[in-house]
A and B are shown apart, each in its own frame.
Chain A
Amino acid sequence: MNLRRNSIKLMVAATFAATAVSSFASPNISRLTPPSNPISATANTLARFLPNQKFDLQTTIQPSTGTTISSVVFAVDGITVATITNDGSAANQFLGTTGLVKTGLVAGLATGTVIASARAYSNGVVGVHTLTATATDNLGGVTTTNGNFEVMPILANSGRPAKNIIIMLGDGMSVAHRSAARIVAKGYAQGKAQGRLAMDTFPQTAMVMTASLNSIVTDSAPGMSNYVNGNKAQNNQEGVFPDDTTDAFDNPRIEYLSEYLHRLKGTSTGIVTTADVFDATPAANAVHTSNRGAGTGIVDQFLDDRNLTGLTVLMGGGRKWFLPNASNTTSPQNSNGSQRKTSTDYVLSNDITTAWSASAGALDSNRDLISDFQTAGFTYAPDKTTLVNAGTPSKLLGLFSFSNMNVAFDKINGRRSASSVVSDFGFPDQPMLDEMTDSAINVLKQNPNGFVLMVEAASIDKQAHLMDSDRWMLDVVEFDRAIQKAKDFATANPDTLVIITADHECGGAALIGASKGTLTGSLASANNVAIYDAAKFPTYNISADGYPNNTDVAGKLLIGYGSNADRIESWLSNPLPSQDSQQPFVGAAPLNAYPATAAARPVGFLIPGQVGADAGGQATHTASDVQLSAMGRGATLFGGVIDNTDVFFKFGQAAIGGAR
């Protein structure tokens, strides 16, 4: 085992006589961070970093009964990197880049437990390093625990470096979702696709394993952050390792790709999503927290730490987090609809702010964050018209809805005046993802040092959760149109690397066949599914706007779900989307009349779920691998079956060492 613990009992005779029971025991080091590989010395090292990438060292030490921890020493390869001495008080201590936390700990730890940190450590020497924590108690008991981490190589002068990196992230999108979009948007005849999606044209393909630190089935927080900091995060956590405190913003940090390249190369960062911008995927590119739901602090940190990330573009939904809320309550909501509360905000301790040059934060529900963004030089676009009229500002903030944006199905039907859904939500003028991507690239490309842009098609996942097949299929089509924008830019600017991937699969989606003849709606059943030969080739007519003019064609593509909750299925498009609990008006007319879950749809037959009440009426993520496509500078680095953390090191190679 790599994790090795040695207990050294140093006993002074007088002490032994006085405290015979406790002096035999030594402190228990119950956590050493970064986490080490507990399986075998020959397996891949668990924690890996690029040369000089910053990360925090941390250890949780539980004293034996009747003792207190006197000091903690961190050493790497036998050389001390930090010594932290307990001042004996009950208060937390912060000195320079080190901290000793004694309060605000999770339940179940021994009395007197301390958490020692040495923040923003980095190491430029390639190879496996031994990390040692040594804890000494007031009776001379000493415990030493060893772990390890690895600094991965970047091969210098391997070709021209990638100036720009674009990550196209289809949330929940796996092979089935991609195939479905191709069938819908391009059509098949005589066994051959009649066209290719933009994502089909990328020359390199890899399959990606998506597990998180604590589960084969990840959520979007590790699913994204694992790509962009090279380390496994625990579910619900982003940009951090787990710890033993209750504070959501004090976990051991890992430097993101956005921060690393901004520090080394002066790149800009762009984050574009169709979700609420506080959502896990966008936040897991720039925000460090163990609680993906801490919306107030997450959106604050986007702006507060822009000097660390080079944040230049932030677009999506989520306006509700940016509005001042003097009352600090959301029940009922403030008259402006703000969701800001101090309970989801952040304040950082001095060791973090000192070591990382991070903003301290503040518990300020009444902050006018839109105005603060504008003061920092961002042009604010609340809708598509303003976005278009903004041209190419130096920095861009787009908040196009209160929470998650409406999906392509409803946005495009709104533009066609065929549906009132976007107006029901109060946001009739939302941009499509390709329009947002185009604007983002135009802003970011102004930086001669390059940029890192993450574009998320969030509702492929959200609609797959809801088992609303036509809605997620159109979101893949929308995503592909955004990918075309990225591809066009990379073609014109060959020093750009573009990857398309997913954080995980969602729904266990499967293309099971096509509908038989005329659709039946309320008379729908499993017998409506045409399988094998009878499925033929579903054919959709594509309008000039790029989307099917009707998703209820005869012989339409039908989807089954392997991780389904109960759902009422009509095989027809659902005129109304399922309710989104994060919308401020969800409880009010007309949104309250929308179906709450797939099981509450008014028309169709019941398909019993395979996941139970734990899933809250939604299909779940699955542990299936996802498909990654790459083009541009460094694309040849991608291939085979890789771990999601591997992607980060390929980014580092492409951006720093170069690639051919």
Chain B
Amino acid sequence: MLTLCLGVSSLTSTLVNGEVAKQALNQHNEVPKSIQLDGQPLTSIVGVTDLKFSELFKMPVGPKGFELTSKAQSLAGKKVRLVGYMIKAEPPIPGMFVLSPVQEEMGDEDEKMVDDFPPNVIFVHLSDPKMTVPNIEGLIKLTGTLQIGSFNESDEHVSTFRLILDQAIEKDIKQALMSIQAGI
């Protein structure tokens, strides 16, 4: 069962205590349906290409390191859908979170630059730079616009891949958080 675990949200001016919110969320099942996996094959979406983490880099590894696949290169700037795990960040990072092919925790503030991310993690960006998304356990599907480059992220990471999250999904997540807060 997917659970949405709230750390701290900036949705309202009355921020809730993270532990209380986490308990509350574990009692609710508020993961938006738009990002849930229901165990069924993904239904294709017109104008959106499904992209796997394993399709980002060529295998075998190139003589001078990892190389982008032609599929990844061709999808830069286009709508893609990825399935992965949200990397747990404590505290959550305003305006973004990280999607990974494996379950992993981001280091805390003291060690955040020594965590061991796979090279193909994707930094998911929100249009609301203040919005923090609490941890979501389990696989999720996300749709957005893929960006490829070398990006200096606000948490000092340097990323290769960004996903600019679709507004509709961002809105779904916001509504889920608001309904939880309203219920507390």
Residues of chain A touching chain B, judged by Cβ–Cβ distance below 8 Å, are: 319-320, 323, 326-327, 329, 331-338, 370, 380, 382-383, 386, 402, 423, 426-429, 584-589, 592
A587 and B159 within 8 A (CB)? no
Contact of A331 among B53, B63, B64, B116 (CB under 8 A): B116
* Identity of the chain A residue whose Cβ is nearest the Cβ of B111 in the assembled complex: A331
Contacts of A331 in B (CB 8 A): 112-117, 157
Distance between Cα atoms of A239 and B18 in the complex (Å): 52
Tell me the minimal C-beta distance from A425 to chain B in angstroms. 8
The 9 closest A-B pairs by CB, nearest first: A336-B65, A327-B158, A588-B118, A382-B63, A332-B117, A426-B61, A335-B160, A333-B119, A323-B65
Contact string against A for B residues 142-174, beta-carbon threshold 8 Å, 1 for contact and 0 otherwise: 000000001010001111100000000000000
B61 and A587 within 8 A (CB)? no
Tell me the minimal C-beta distance from A304 to chain B in angstroms. 20
Contacts of A329 in B (CB 8 A): 113, 156-158
Tell me the minimal C-beta distance from B164 to chain A in angstroms. 18
Distance between Cα atoms of A382 and B115 in the complex (Å): 28
Tell me the minimal C-beta distance from B74 to chain A in angstroms. 16
Contacts of B59 in A (CB 8 A): 423, 426
Distance between Cα atoms of A85 and B34 in the complex (Å): 74
B113 and A337 within 8 A (CB)? no
B160 and A588 within 8 A (CB)? no
Distance between Cα atoms of A329 and B100 in the complex (Å): 18
Q: Is B50 an interface residue (CB 8 A)?
A: no
Q: Is B121 an interface residue (CB 8 A)?
A: yes
Distance between Cα atoms of A428 and B61 in the complex (Å): 9
Contacts of B101 in A (CB 8 A): 588-589
| 17 A-B contacts (beta carbon < 8 Å) | A319-B61, A319-B65, A320-B65, A323-B64, A329-B113, A329-B157, A331-B114, A334-B65, A336-B65, A336-B66, A382-B62, A383-B63, A429-B60, A585-B118, A588-B119, A589-B101, A592-B102
* Identity of the chain B residue whose Cβ is nearest the Cβ of A586 in the assembled complex: B116
Contacts of A383 in B (CB 8 A): 60, 63
A-B contact count (CB 8 A): 91
* Identity of the chain A residue whose Cβ is nearest the Cβ of B149 in the assembled complex: A335
Contact flag A338-B65 (CB < 8 Å), given A331-B117, A587-B104: yes
B60 and A426 within 8 A (CB)? yes
Contact of A402 among B61, B67, B68, B156 (CB under 8 A): B61
* Identity of the chain A residue whose Cβ is nearest the Cβ of B68 in the assembled complex: A335
Contact flag A332-B121 (CB < 8 Å), given A587-B102, A588-B53: yes
B157 and A334 within 8 A (CB)? no
Contacts of B63 in A (CB 8 A): 370, 380, 382-383, 386
A589 and B65 within 8 A (CB)? no
Contacts of B60 in A (CB 8 A): 383, 423, 426-429
Q: Which of B114, B119, B120 has the most CB of A within 10 A?
A: B119
Tell me the minimal C-beta distance from A329 to chain B in angstroms. 5
Q: Is B40 an interface residue (CB 8 A)?
A: no
Contact string against A for B residues 53-83, beta-carbon threshold 8 Å, 1 for contact and 0 otherwise: 1100001111111111000000000000000
Contacts of B150 in A (CB 8 A): 326-327, 334-335
Tell me the minimal C-beta distance from B112 to chain A in angstroms. 8
Contacts of A327 in B (CB 8 A): 150, 152, 158
Tell me the minimal C-beta distance from B73 to chain A in angstroms. 11
* Identity of the chain B residue whose Cβ is nearest the Cβ of A592 in the assembled complex: B102
Contacts of B66 in A (CB 8 A): 335-337
* Identity of the chain A residue whose Cβ is nearest the Cβ of B102 in the assembled complex: A592
Contact flag A588-B102 (CB < 8 Å), given A329-B113, A332-B159, A334-B160: yes
Q: Which of B112, B115, B118 has the most CB of A within 10 A?
A: B118
Contacts of A588 in B (CB 8 A): 53, 101-102, 118-120
Contacts of B104 in A (CB 8 A): 587
Contacts of B119 in A (CB 8 A): 332-335, 337, 584-585, 588
A587 and B117 within 8 A (CB)? yes
Distance between Cα atoms of A323 and B61 in the complex (Å): 13
Distance between Cα atoms of A429 and B60 in the complex (Å): 9
Interface residues of B in 86-127 (CB under 8 A from A): 100-102, 104, 112-121
Tell me the minimal C-beta distance from A598 to chain B in angstroms. 20
A589 and B160 within 8 A (CB)? no
Q: Which of B65, B67, B68, B118 has the most CB of A within 10 A?
A: B65
* Identity of the chain B residue whose Cβ is nearest the Cβ of A593 in the assembled complex: B102
Distance between Cα atoms of A423 and B112 in the complex (Å): 31
Tell me the minimal C-beta distance from B113 to chain A in angstroms. 5
Tell me the minimal C-beta distance from B52 to chain A in angstroms. 10
A587 and B65 within 8 A (CB)? no
Distance between Cα atoms of A427 and B120 in the complex (Å): 18
Interface residues of B in 32-60 (CB under 8 A from A): 53-54, 59-60
* Identity of the chain B residue whose Cβ is nearest the Cβ of A371 in the assembled complex: B64
Contacts of B102 in A (CB 8 A): 587-589, 592
Distance between Cα atoms of A335 and B122 in the complex (Å): 12
Tell me the minimal C-beta distance from A27 to chain B in angstroms. 39
Additional A-B contact list (11), CB under 8 Å, known A331-B113, A338-B65, A585-B119: A331-B157, A333-B117, A333-B118, A335-B150, A337-B66, A370-B63, A382-B63, A423-B60, A429-B60, A588-B101, A589-B102
Contact of B65 among A337, A427, A428 (CB under 8 A): A337
Contacts of B53 in A (CB 8 A): 588-589
Distance between Cα atoms of A567 and B32 in the complex (Å): 43
Q: Which of A331, A337, A382, A585 has the most CB of B within 10 A?
A: A331
Contacts of B64 in A (CB 8 A): 323, 336, 370
A587 and B118 within 8 A (CB)? yes
Contacts of B54 in A (CB 8 A): 589
Distance between Cα atoms of A319 and B62 in the complex (Å): 10
Contact flag A427-B61 (CB < 8 Å), given A329-B158, A337-B66, A588-B102: yes
Distance between Cα atoms of A386 and B66 in the complex (Å): 18
Distance between Cα atoms of A183 and B112 in the complex (Å): 49
Tell me the minimal C-beta distance from B79 to chain A in angstroms. 21
* Identity of the chain A residue whose Cβ is nearest the Cβ of B118 in the assembled complex: A588
Tell me the minimal C-beta distance from B175 to chain A in angstroms. 31
Contacts of B68 in A (CB 8 A): 335
Tell me the minimal C-beta distance from B10 to chain A in angstroms. 25
Contacts of B62 in A (CB 8 A): 382
Distance between Cα atoms of A333 and B114 in the complex (Å): 11
Distance between Cα atoms of A440 and B117 in the complex (Å): 36
Tell me the minimal C-beta distance from A380 to chain B in angstroms. 7
Distance between Cα atoms of A296 and B67 in the complex (Å): 21
Distance between Cα atoms of A402 and B63 in the complex (Å): 10
Contact flag A332-B118 (CB < 8 Å), given A588-B53, A589-B54: yes
Tell me the minimal C-beta distance from B60 to chain A in angstroms. 5
Contacts of B157 in A (CB 8 A): 329, 331-332
Contacts of B156 in A (CB 8 A): 329
Contacts of A587 in B (CB 8 A): 100, 102, 104, 116-118
Tell me the minimal C-beta distance from B108 to chain A in angstroms. 13
Distance between Cα atoms of A319 and B67 in the complex (Å): 14
Contacts of A326 in B (CB 8 A): 150
Distance between Cα atoms of A587 and B67 in the complex (Å): 18
Contacts of B100 in A (CB 8 A): 587
